[in-house]
Amino acid sequence: MNIVRALKCRECGHEYEIQPTHVCEFCFGPLEVVYDYEKLDGYFTRELIESRPQNMWRYKELLPIDGEPSVGAQNGFTPLVRAKNLEKALGVSELYIKNDSVCYPTLSFKDRVVSVALSKAVEFGFKTVACASTGNLAGSVAANAAAAGLESYVFIPHDLEQGKVLGAGIFGTKIIGIKGKYDDVNRLCSEVAGKYGWAFVNVNVRPFYAEGSKSLGYEMMEQLGWKAPKHVVVPMASGSLCTKVHKSIKEFIKLGLIEDNGTAVYGAQATGCSPIAKSVKDGTDLIHPVIADTIAKSLAIGNPADGFYANRVINETGGWAEDVSDQEVIDAMKLLAETEGIFAETAGGVTLGCAKKMIESGKLPRDESIVLCITGNGLKTQEAVVDAIDKPRIIDANLKDFDELAAADGFDAAA
């Protein structure tokens, strides 16, 4: 059943037919996909959803494609982990991790947005897809496009580290490095998107792309036993994921799939790039663009397109926003790995670091359910923690040396 109604301007409310476009012709406001939810009455039940394969498309009626997905059909349905050890470390009673660090196939939540964007691009008849990215998005577009037989272009700043280039290059995508100041590189990407007949995932098909993030929220609620948490902490770059997790909760309430639990949404940023968190703390809805300077590269968006809307979600739900230093990011990455065996990228360190800070400041209560959205994998940002882990202890290849070492660790070999 297809319940997609239109694209609607978030500013002036003007509606447009479904097409590959993203801003309002009248006021330049961003367009969002809107649905006729009544059509799902009595049809879209928990039982129907549970009867479907465990991937993000079990909620396909709430994702903006017409038919079956042609890209990323297996993506999503990552684990929701009850974090008992981390609960003890933080002094809270009910904590979960939505672990998108193992999202299929490229180990970040971007696989969700990209599979919706590319499936929609195929429906629109595009043969070439593109994005501008410094990491996760590039890899996801490249991999999912390869699997779907689409041609892809990835635009990057020319001086991007080799490792990041590799993460997209291996999939045979066409990588274009652009020289120049950040603003000029950024503007060129927007111009290319406007000029070539491609599906630029985060430009002309952004309204569809962004909807993919809702699937993280749907899964979280189903995995909690058809319940929304009292509190959910989300890392913010453009702010889109934050708004879409909130939208997912409102939709499930509207559809009668869960009860309204009064969920509060919290945003997490790195101090070196925290325009949205700053606006929340300053009590304003004005987002002042910044020049990003943080090790959390995946969140380094200084002029965030959805900042205003993320700010609004946080305020309306009674949440809060926090930011953490690079050192706090590293400490939190280690804490998550050592307590729960989850190696998250820097964005995960930002999320946990901010949650910890908000627990300590009382913004997050200790006795109510909290979900942390961990959105990317630590193997992608190894440089951040390489100096923070213990070096191996080196011994000669004889048992005596090891016995001594083991004895020092409190092990008795005689037994």
Q: Is omega for the bond preceding 105 within 30 degrees of 0, making it cis?
A: yes
Among ligand PLP, Zn ion, other proteins, none, what binds residue 236 when CB lies within 5 to 8 Å by partner kind?
Answer: ligand PLP
Kindly state the number of chain residues that form the binding site for ligand PLP, as judged by CB under 6 A: 17
Among Zn ion, other proteins, ligand PLP, none, what binds residue 239 when CB lies within 5 to 8 Å by partner kind?
Answer: ligand PLP
Q: How far is the CB of 53 from ligand PLP (least distance, A)?
A: 25
21 CB burial (10 A radius; 0-12, 13-18, 19+): middle
Q: At what angle do helices 136-148 and 162-169 cross, to 10 degrees?
A: 20
Closer residue to ligand PLP, CB minimum distance, 257 or 381: 381
Is residue 21 at the binding interface for Zn ion, with CB under 5 A as the rule? no
Interface residues toward other proteins, by CB under 8 A: 22-23, 26-28, 131-137, 155, 157, 182-183, 185-187, 189-191, 193-195, 200, 202-203, 206, 237-238, 286, 289, 297-305, 347
Closer residue to Zn ion, CB minimum distance, 14 or 174: 14
Q: Where are the alpha helices (DSSP H) in 16-98?
A: 46-50, 84-90
Closer residue to ligand PLP, CB minimum distance, 255 or 319: 319
Is residue 255 at the binding interface for Zn ion, with CB under 5 A as the rule? no
Bridge pairing between strands 80-82 and 151-157: unpaired
Among Zn ion, other proteins, ligand PLP, none, what binds residue 9 when CB lies within 5 to 8 Å by partner kind?
Answer: Zn ion
Using CB under 6 A, pick the residue from 274, 311, 375, 381 that binds ligand PLP: 375
- The residue at minimum Cβ distance from ligand PLP is 376
Closest CA to 72 of 99, 105, 27: 105
Closer residue to ligand PLP, CB minimum distance, 217 or 235: 235
Give the list of residues 6+ apart from residue 16 with CB closer than 8 angstroms, or none. 6, 7, 8, 9, 24, 31
Q: How far is the CB of 328 from ligand PLP (least distance, A)?
A: 17
Using CB under 5 A, pick the residue from 7, 24, 249, 268 that binds Zn ion: 24
Report the SS3 class of residue 119. Answer: helix
3-state helix/strand/coil string of 134-172 = CCHHHHHHHHHHHHHCCEEEEEEECCCCHHHHHHHHCCC
Per-residue contact string for residues 224-263; x = within reach of ligand PLP by CB under 6 A: -----------xxxxxxx----------------------
> Among all chains, which residue has been given the structure tokens 């979280």?
220
Is residue 347 at the binding interface for ligand PLP, with CB under 6 A as the rule? yes
Bridge pairing between strands 370-374 and 231-235: parallel
Tell which positions 79-108 bind ligand PLP, by CB under 6 A: 108
Using CB under 6 A, pick the residue from 64, 139, 167, 376 that binds ligand PLP: 376
Report yes or no: 329 and 350 within 8 Å, Cβ to Cβ: yes
DSSP-assigned states of every residue in 394-409: P--SSHHHHHHHHHHT
Closer residue to Zn ion, CB minimum distance, 21 or 339: 21
Q: What is the DSSP letter of 384?
A: G
Q: What is the DSSP letter of 29?
A: P
Q: Rounded distance, CA 320 to CA 302, Å? A: 19
Closer residue to Zn ion, CB minimum distance, 14 or 227: 14
Q: How far is the CB of 320 from other proteins (least distance, A)?
A: 23
Q: Rounded distance, CA 377 to CA 101, Å? A: 4
Report yes or no: 230 and 263 within 8 Å, Cβ to Cβ: yes
Q: How far is the CB of 9 from Zn ion (least distance, A)?
A: 3
Report the SS3 class of residue 317. Answer: helix
Give contact residues for ligand PLP (rule: CB under 6 A).
Answer: 108, 110, 136-137, 235-241, 298-299, 345, 347, 375-376
Give contact residues for Zn ion (rule: CB under 5 A).
Answer: 9, 11-12, 14, 24, 26-27, 29
